[in-house]
Chains A and B, each alone.
Chain A
Amino acid sequence: MPKAKVTFQDIGVSVTVPAGTRLIEVSEKVGAGITYGCREGECCTCLTKIVSGSEFLAPPSILEDQVLKDNMAPRNHRLACQAQIIGGEIVVKPA
């Protein structure tokens, strides 16, 4: 299975994950500072800055895109409960 590496900059931990993993599946277990509310892509609590490697995340769904717009999210920010890792190396930190 293809692998990817995601680094949580705030706690200094890199995790090698299978492609297809969502950020939420890793960040909570590793104890990163990204916090969650609805976990369904609506509340924007888990807004996360993609420091590098945003191209290695699956594009946002229509719903995520709308929520990011409604909440005036800056560029290179995603919802950790929605963002799916598809490969490569990604560095993230809480927004």
Chain B
Amino acid sequence: MVAAALTDNAVEIAPGVHWVGALDPHLRSFDIILKTANGTSYNSYVVRGENGVAIIDTVKENFADDFFRRLETVARYDEITTIVLNHLEPDHSGALPELLKRAPQAKVYLSSRAQMMLKALLKPTGEKPPEYIPVTTDDEVDLGGRTLRFLHTPYLHWPDTQCTYLVEDGLLFTGDIFGCHFCDNRLFNDTVGDFRFSFEYYYAHIMRPFREYVLDAIALIEPLAINLIAPAHGPILRHAPRDYVHRYRELATPRLFNEARSEKTLVVFYISAYGNTRRMAESLAAGAESIGGVRVSLYDLEGGESGIFTDLIEEADGLAFGSPTINADAVKPIWDVLSSLTTVNVKGKLGAAFGSYGWSGEAVRLIEDRLRGLKLRVPVEGLRIKLVPDAGELEACRDLGEQLARHLTGRVEHREIEFSQLQATPA
């Protein structure tokens, strides 16, 4: 953070609309997975209408004093008619229990999916939940001369998220979307330091797994007249706010041109100590390619770093992983890839595993378990081959590839099986 500390006063961001958030300049990691080189901010806003005052989100619990001090400079608690919760993660709802005590008359507006989270958040207080109203796109609250209109924008980045549009002023309160971890008491995007990296880093780590939902949200946001975007973290975007909407659309659009977009894609990753798992991979790939309608790519993990494969994995319809077994485990490059997928959405992709082994061959089952844990579907039992695959075993690899291709293209022959057949191993 640079420059002198803010005063305890609220900061006006538009006539009758104030920032009453808090700065956290010393935070160095957020939610464990993000680095925050100059801290973050928790942005909360007050909107004054002729008939009442609305609070949009709160702050992290241990910054509640800052929030209440700033709030008290622009509103009395008995004036608060409306509390909008765009996102209930604790960094935005930490001061909520105390706010509800101070303004018990306020009605809470939140998304349908936020209701259970609200109950869970208030559980330790023992207090009865306040009057809350689930809202969705186009629902409105009249503050008197000012209208809050809601946009249902789930999974940005929790199921509960929504945006709130102040209609008459063209202000959009967006929760975490368009936010970033960047702490600068100059507050506005045209006065703070260079936060472009933080903006993109935040998207890459928080929003990227939900890019389909980002695009749905952008479709709701783009038609709006927007004079300012007020996110829940980082700079308030008053200069060229539409540029940030446009940038989100770019970021959420597939980043690689895909010549095979009319086909399904299968990416086969392997690593091989003596060439046996490599030969299995090659046969599997050839089998999948032979079916038609599937574009197959083959990658030796030894020739790259796990991070660079993330884009490929995000775009692929199917993923097959080949690993030898060393000391009863798959090898580290496999786990490096499979532990670096939290930034992309792999749910529902087709997954498979294979590998040569010398002794016990646990790798394949361990990889399959991991794939299922990542919410991939694993419809075809993986292949374990002892040491050097012979011609028949390579044919089995080819058959595995063919089966994967059939699953990808919806050309699986109907099978009837007994439950007892599933007890020991996958079908």
Contacts and interface: CB of A to CB of B under 8 A. Distances in A.
Interface of A: 10-18, 21, 26, 28-33, 35-37, 45, 70-72, 94
B416 A11 contact: no
Contacts of B376: 35
Top 9 closest A-B pairs, CB basis?
A31-B379, A35-B375, A29-B422, A17-B419, A12-B412, A33-B377, A12-B414, A14-B416, A11-B379
Given A14-B414, A31-B426, 19 more contacts: A11-B379, A11-B412, A13-B379, A13-B416, A15-B417, A15-B418, A16-B418, A17-B419, A18-B419, A26-B419, A26-B422, A29-B426, A30-B426, A31-B377, A31-B379, A35-B348, A35-B377, A45-B375, A71-B159
B255 interface: no
A30 B378 CA distance: 8
Interface string B159-171: 1000000000000
Nearest to B414: A12
Contacts of A13: 379, 412, 414-417, 427
Contacts of A29: 422-423, 426-427
B119 to A, nearest CB: 11
A65 to B, nearest CB: 13
A11 B407 CA distance: 7
Contacts of A72: 112
B375 A32 contact: no
Nearest to B407: A11
Contacts of B423: 29
22 contacts: A11-B412, A13-B412, A13-B414, A13-B415, A15-B416, A15-B418, A15-B419, A26-B422, A28-B372, A29-B423, A29-B426, A30-B426, A31-B378, A31-B380, A32-B379, A35-B347, A35-B377, A36-B375, A70-B113, A71-B112, A71-B113, A72-B112
Interface string B197-232: 000000000000000000000000000000000000
Nearest to A71: B113
A39 to B, nearest CB: 11
Contacts of A31: 377-380, 426-427
Contacts of A26: 419, 422
Given A11-B407, A15-B422, A70-B113, A30 B427 contact: yes
A84 B18 CA distance: 52
Nearest to A31: B379
A64 B375 CA distance: 21
